[in-house]
Amino acid sequence: MGEGRASLGNALHSLGQRIIEEGKQMNAPLSTAVATHNALREKLKAEFGLEDDDEALIDTLDGISDLKELIAVAARQARYEAAQAEACKAIIAAVQARMARRAEKAERLRDAIAHAMEDAGERKIDAPDCTISVRAGKPKLVIERPCGGASPGRFVNVKRVYSWNVTAISEAIALFDQEAMDLAHWSNPEPILTLRSR
């Protein structure tokens, strides 16, 4: 019995190696690897009359198919890319903060220059690398209180924002409401992947 099982295992392994070598490409997309894995499983099942949960089939696939290895490689790459994205986000945030500080400093300097020239009665200064001039600006309207809570009227603009009532649409579709079903539909559920470091 043990010899027969070993012989079956060797035959499975031999066939599997032959099949996998025909289409194996380590750098192929996962979809290609999945197709190769599934084709390998079906050929093994057909040739040896095995079921999906047969231990010999599972062990043989684990030994000759590199799908799990490719998925693990892709998972490590996904974690690396996510870490790189977080690092980029931190760098961008730091650069944006530095940019905001420099823009604010430039605005303070411009304001100080304008007031200094105005106080000194200087309207124009010719420097070797630039010309600096100042003129009276227009007054800005300063509203004394916020608009929140104000009633619509002569001084208040009314803005309307339309959006779909997702809850109402979902409930209507659950009741097979034709109008809602013509408007929207449920998509196919997407798989949720979890990666945990060891």
**Residues 66-80 pLDDT 10s:** 888 888 888 888 888
Q: What is the dihedral of CA 76, 79, 85, 91, to 10 degrees?
A: -100
Strand partners, 132: 125
Q: Which tens digits make up the pLDDT trace of 84-106?
A: 999 999 999 999 999 999 999 99
**pLDDT (average), residues 140-160:** 78
pLDDT at 167: 94
In angstroms, the CA 138 to CA 164 distance is 43
